[in-house]
Amino acid sequence: MLNSLNSPQREAVKYLDGPLLVLAGAGSGKTRVITQKISYLIDEAGYSPKEIAAITFTNKAAREMQDRVGKLMQGKSTKGLTIATFHSLGLQMLRAEAALLGYKPQFSILDSSDSYKIVADILATTDKQIIRKTQWQISAWKNAFLNADQAKAQADEELTVAAAKVYQLYQQTLKAYQAVDFDDLIKLPVELFQAHESALNKWQRKLQYLLIDEYQDTNACQYKLVKMLTGLRGQFTAVGDDDQAIYGWRGADVENLRQLTDDFSKLKVIKLEQNYRSTVRILRAANQVISNNPKLFEKKLWSDLGTGDLIQVSAAMSEEAEAESVIMKIQAHKFEHRTKFLDYAVLYRGNHQARIFEQQLRNHKIPYTVSGGQSFFDKAEIKDLVSYLRLIANEDDDPAFIRAATTPKKGIGNTTLERLGEYASLHKISLFAAAFEADFQSDVGAKQLDDLLNFCAYINKLQQRAVRDPANEVLDDLLNTIQYEAFLYDSEEPRAAEGKWANVMDFIGWLSKKGEANTEYGNEAEAKNLLELTQMVSLMSMLEGQEAGEVDAVKLSTLHAAKGLEFGHVFLIGVEEGILPHRESVDLGVTDPTKIEEERRLMYVGITRAQKSLNISWCKKRKRAGEMELCEPSRFIAELPKDDVRHFGNPFNDPEISKDFGKSKMANIKAMLANK
């Protein structure tokens, strides 16, 4: 089985003489090493499955590991084997030892919104920014393994002094509630082991060998937990890559890799440098960019997958032009190479960059999925409007009924809806149908019934108009009748309301355009009524809700969310000063070079997602706060190897290159069409 591994991979699997750090470059098969080592520990090294724990950061990564180990073991028992995230392992420990910390075994775990409410109550404010900053600061202290007293001693600004006081009261509240938050799932086990040696000895005996994935993403608290569990014997394999350390903003500390060499004098280091993902040109670009960072460990990726295409760097006049250019390139490349939509990914630094690409993809009827941010159809304001459309199409759609009946509020209260739900459930009919039942009506007050029936009558009216009137007229009437714009401004801060209303206008404009008769490009399409448009929207939103990989769709993703993934063809967009690297990192980088270093690692992650081709783009102008601003290409573009890059639209390069390349591409496509 080990014969399928390369020499360094095989060495990493078989090494059991002490602590091991595997420096696994992008696409070098790190998950394969971890899963093969689990199999080796059980089959060859005499470990029982219950003595092994593999720790990772996401449920998805844990599931992938479990699947791979199951296939490797071919039906052999793995009962007791722990493959879990840091937080789920911490939860196991807390549940087992809760009494030692003064908790009941069935303590509550609060999510981010629960902790937000507690912090808001302590601060006695509704200012979202102050609440979130305080919440984030408390989380950062916990990740750094600082208690409230230590945080108070360190606080040197007005905000952090105030946050330290809130931290104290926050922890007291959690204890009173017999509750813990997400960060406590790591912090409390460390406190437990510091205070109770017997509990530490018990868990050290239980978990004889640890494998830690994505080690560069550990924070101070997680490092303490690993160090305590492994003890003096140091029987662990840590797998990481200092070049992919991109989570400093949430407490991850790449220095934990260096700290291993200090804390474990017998640490063995094995490098995985062969990349099984990308072409030589893509790897040369990645190596050259990251070489501008100071190195913890020297490492250079290589590949035997061929030289590959030149990397394309394009300058666009605006973000609209950039989006249009990328979509056209995807369409042309897909046609020419007979690929699928899922072979393409558009990657960006911030979620806000996705919006214009979503618009373009919808306009060109190209399916897409969004990760690392919120899809257009997942936005609350779009869901609100779609609930009305769904109800127009199908009045028996109960979830749509509840949302439409209560957003905006129409005098239909929870009590009325509860009674309606009980009656509908008892008689096995929809909520809409139940509203017209005499037995139900007799049980509801006159005012409540009037409000309910008025809503239902309005839906009936829209149903009639949906198959008769132009879609844009019906939609305009809907927005005016329910006073949705006023509702947004009443329930949101002005800037948030403005953004949400802009999304509504985009959605309505897009739907209206889709409803018009179309004779573009010689393809005649009849006008669609609102009912037909609703069915189209329902299908699109259902596609977006499917698991990634189930649907043939272009992937839109933040660079952070794309880590660990790979795509045939990558479009890395908005590669400008102020975006990548981020404006805050540029400002702070004057005094703290680590900020720019992390942004460069983010660029490296983006480059190494690509298997066959890489397109990088930047805008010469971009709209900010309603004004057009001149932009500069990112410093990281200048760090790319010149012989591996072809520039387009850049005035500092030969314009003939772009022209000749465009002509040759067009000639190829014409030839293909002629041969069909």
Q: What angle do CA 89, 93, 94 make, to 5 degrees?
A: 115
- Please report which confidence band the pLDDT of residue 395 belongs to, taking 50, 70 and 90 as the band edges: confident
- Please report which confidence band the pLDDT of residue 564 belongs to, taking 50, 70 and 90 as the band edges: confident
Q: What pLDDT does 70 receive?
A: 85
- The H or E element that residue 9 is part of is helix 7-14
Tokens encoding 111: 């999510």
Report in angstroms the alpha-carbon separations of 426 from 163, 404, 414, 437, 666. 51, 23, 18, 12, 65
Kindly report, residue by residue over 417-443, the tens digit of the pLDDT. Answer: 878 878 877 887 788 888 998 888 888
Whole-structure pTM value = 0.70
Q: Check residue 522 and report its DSSP letter.
A: G
Query: What is the C-alpha to C-alpha distance for residues 281 and 302, in angstroms, rounded to an integer?
Result: 10
Q: Which of 614, 626, 627, 625 is nearest to 575 (CA)?
A: 614
- Please report which confidence band the pLDDT of residue 663 belongs to, taking 50, 70 and 90 as the band edges: low
- Please report which confidence band the pLDDT of residue 543 belongs to, taking 50, 70 and 90 as the band edges: very low
- Please report which confidence band the pLDDT of residue 467 belongs to, taking 50, 70 and 90 as the band edges: confident
Active site (catalytic) residues: 30-31, 213-214, 244, 609
Tokens encoding 153: 């001693």
Kindly report, residue by residue over 105-151, the tens digit of the pLDDT. Answer: 667 777 776 788 889 888 988 888 899 999 999 999 999 999 989 99
pLDDT of 655 > 50? The answer is no
CA dihedral of 56, 58, 61, 64, whole degrees rounded to 10: 120
Kindly report, residue by residue over 56-96, the tens digit of the pLDDT. Answer: 888 778 888 888 888 888 878 888 899 988 888 988 898 88
- Helices assigned H by DSSP within 231-379: 255-263, 280-290, 319-337, 354-363
Q: Which residues pair with 302 in a beta bridge?
A: 274
Tokens encoding 228: 């305590």
Is 26 within 8 Å of 240 (Cβ atoms)? no
Q: Check residue 577 and report its DSSP letter.
A: T
Is 388 within 8 Å of 557 (Cβ atoms)? no
Q: Check residue 341 and report its DSSP letter.
A: G
Q: What pLDDT does 217 receive?
A: 87
Q: How many CA atoms lie within 13 A of 629 on its CB side?
A: 11
Kindly report, residue by residue over 253-296, the tens digit of the pLDDT. Answer: 778 888 888 888 889 999 999 999 999 999 999 999 999 998 88
Three-state DSSP at 315 gives strand
Residue 375: partners with Cβ closer than 8 Å, 6 or more residues away: 358, 369, 544
Q: What pLDDT does 134 receive?
A: 92
Query: What is the C-alpha to C-alpha distance for residues 278 and 25, in angstroms, rounded to an integer?
Result: 12
Query: What is the C-alpha to C-alpha distance for residues 21 and 216, in angstroms, rounded to an integer?
Result: 11
Report in angstroms the alpha-carbon separations of 507 from 363, 472, 476, 512, 634. 11, 11, 12, 9, 33
Judge residue 426's burial from the number of C-beta atoms within 10 Å of its C-beta, 0-12 exposed, 13-18 middle, 19 or more buried. Answer: exposed
Q: What pLDDT does 669 receive?
A: 57
pLDDT of 523 > 60? The answer is no
- The H or E element that residue 52 is part of is strand 52-56
Lateral strand order in the sheet of 344-348: 368-371, 554-558, 344-348, 567-572, 610-619, 311-316, 645-648
Which range in 32-41, 408-417, 461-470 is most confidently predicted, on average pLDDT?
32-41
Q: Which of 609, 519, 506, 601 is nearest to 557 (CA)?
A: 609
Tokens encoding 355: 């919006």
